[in-house]
Amino acid sequence: MYNSYTRTLFDEKNKDHWKIQAQWTLRAKLSTPQNTKVAKNVILFLGDGMSITTLAATRVYLGGQYGHNGEELKLSFESFPYTGLAKTYCVDHNVADSACSGTAYLSGVKANSGTLGLSGSVKRGDCAGQRDGLHSVTGLMDWAQKAGKSTGIVTTTRVTHASPAAAYAHAADRKWEADADLPTRGLKCEDIASQLVRGRVGSGLNVVFGGGRKNFMPRSEIDSNGNSGYRNDGRNLIREWLVKKESLGIYPKYIYSRKELLNLDNNKYGSVLGLFASDHMSYHLEAGDEEPTLSEMTQKAIEILSQNTKGFVLFVEGGRIDTAHHETKARKALDETAELAKAVEAALRIVDIEETLVVVTSDHSHTMSYSGYSKRGSDILGFANAKYNASDNLPYTILSYANGPGSMSRTNFRHNLMFDNMNDLNYTYPSLVPIPRETHGGEDVAVFAHGPWAHLFSGNYEQNFIPHALAYASCIGPGLTTCKL
């Protein structure tokens, strides 16, 4: 029965509210058993550029949409029982990019900035270092495939972009996504798209969902949306992918629209390639009905991969959080983070968490700050409390960036933000240092874990520890596992 006493439990001005809330949290932690079963399945979710600041701001963003203040809310994965912090630096840079960090959390080895699937012995652009193979490293997908598990990647970026490419490719430069991106002189290295089709690990993936269709098609061909291919070598890698899968006795399917994804017969195909955009997939706030959501791709990937009785390893990336931050478009960044949280929630509805290890993390931070002294319930995408205007008596936004295209410091006077339309989806938030693209940040990122051996992810550790812990829990890979102590 809802009465006056019940109301006090949800009244933040009542001291009992906070005491009871803390006791509930304490009891939940005390009653959480450590699951030490073998993880049949592993799902690694990555919010590209999803800093802790981004998480905090997204809570308030969602709260405003559903009639709450928001600060008190939790994203789906923030309720996971175990949380840690991962250090993200590269071998040669103190602030990571998505290539060196992808190599770390997918292969277990830290690398140089801009390189994929190669140790720190190979510098960016060293084609010879890529070709000789001595410094190549593999990780989760390779280990899972050798153990007989199904594997897949899902992303909202190009499937050849740095984060997903780290799952299967070896490249001295993350920009070598298609042959047209390769240097015109010197040694010829295999591009990333080609490695997805011809590479040992890439060709073994059972599910690949995302964008980047142009990198698989020659310039002479037009895709379903009227966009030309990008390849110079005349190869259609989509056709090659189909032929290769068939030669391996696998019944494959290529799809390019949301309708095809939703109508796909999960039991009919052994491998599915879905390229839903010529370039990156659209931001959720701008997407039409032709492109599936991250949740829809995640759910379909799990349904397909779950047919394997030995289990699966799936990598899911909310990649456009990062691109929005680079453009200092905070609204889009927060919305893409909310979409990742929805995808995690969708996955939890259909997996058995007793046998599925789910980890959510980020590859690196960004320079967005969350500041000022605004009252609860303030629009997170609006102005800080007017009572605390800056020294020039002009307002400032709650969210801003240390650097980026939204800089207001090109003159001796700050621009008056009151004249801006901050409801515009493409509004660029203010930044201190003027540069064309905002940079990453170097602080640690959060790691959230649920399922078998999730307690391994507590504490502070190097980012390359993550795949070793995932492998331990699921009994894959050459290192220490719970099956071979």
Q: What is the DSSP string of 94-156?
A: SS--HHHHHHHHHHS----TT-BSB-TTS-TT-HHHHHH-TTB---HHHHHHHTT-EEEEEEE
pLDDT value at residue 5: 47
Q: Does 450 show up as a binding residue in the annotation?
A: no
Question: Which residues 6+ apart lie within 8 Å of 25 measured at CB?
Answer: none
For residue 223, being part of any structural domain is answered with yes
Q: Is 135 annotated as a binding residue?
A: no
* Residue 414 identity (one-letter amino acid): R
Q: Is 223 annotated as a binding residue?
A: no
- Tell me whether residue 132 is annotated as binding: no
In a domain, 457, yes or no: yes
pTM of the prediction? 0.94
User: What does the CA dihedral 230, 233, 234, 238 come to, rounded to 10 degrees?
Assistant: -70
- Cβ atoms 472, 451 nearer than 8 A: no
Confirm whether residue 317 is marked as ligand binding. yes
Split into its structural domains, the chain has a count of 1
Residues in the chain: 485
Look at residue 318 in the predicted model and tell me its pLDDT: 98
Q: Is 352 annotated as a binding residue?
A: no
Identify the bridge partners of residue 268 per DSSP, sorted by sequence position.
none
Q: List beta partners, residue 44.
A: 315, 359
**Is 280 labelled as part of a ligand binding site?**
no
pLDDT of residue 8: 55
Provide the token pair at 273.
């390639």
Is residue 399 domain-resident? no
Active site residue 119: no
Examine residue 479 and state whether it is found in any structural domain, yes or no.
no
Q: Given 31, 76, 79, 98, which residue is catalytic?
A: 98
Inside any domain, residue 28: no
pLDDT of residue 2: 45
pLDDT tens digits, one per residue of 158-180: 999 999 999 999 999 999 999 99
Pairing mode of beta strands 41-47, 207-211: unpaired
Residue stretches of the chain with pLDDT short of 70: 1-9, 186, 386-388, 407-413, 485
Residue 191, helix vs strand vs coil = coil
Residue 425: partners with Cβ closer than 8 Å, 6 or more residues away = 283, 285, 286, 329, 331, 332
Query: CB of 365 within 8 A of CB of 94?
Result: no
The helix, strand and coil proportions of the chain, stated in percent and rounded to the nearest 5, come to 35, 20, 50
For residue 88, is it within any domain? yes
Could you tell me which residues come within 8 angstroms of residue 325 by beta carbon, excluding any fewer than 6 positions away? 49, 54, 333, 366, 367, 368, 401, 438
C-alpha of 420 from chain center: 31
* Neighbour-count burial for 263-292, b at 16+ CB within 10 Å, e otherwise: ebeeeebbbbbbbbbbebbbbbeebeeebb
Look at residue 386 and tell me if it is in a domain. no
Q: How far is CA 285 from CA 46, 213, 409, in A?
A: 20, 21, 29
CATH number for the domain that contains residue 317 = 3.40.720.10
Residue-by-residue DSSP string for 435-449: -SSPPEE-S-EEEEE
Look at the alpha carbons of 291, 297, 300, 304 in this order and tell me if their dihedral is positive or negative.
Answer: positive
**Ligand-binding site membership of 68 (annotated):** no
Residue 170 labelled as part of a binding site: no
Domain enclosing residue 297, as ranges: 37-367+439-474
396 within some domain: no
CA atoms 176, 465, 204, 301: torsion sign: negative
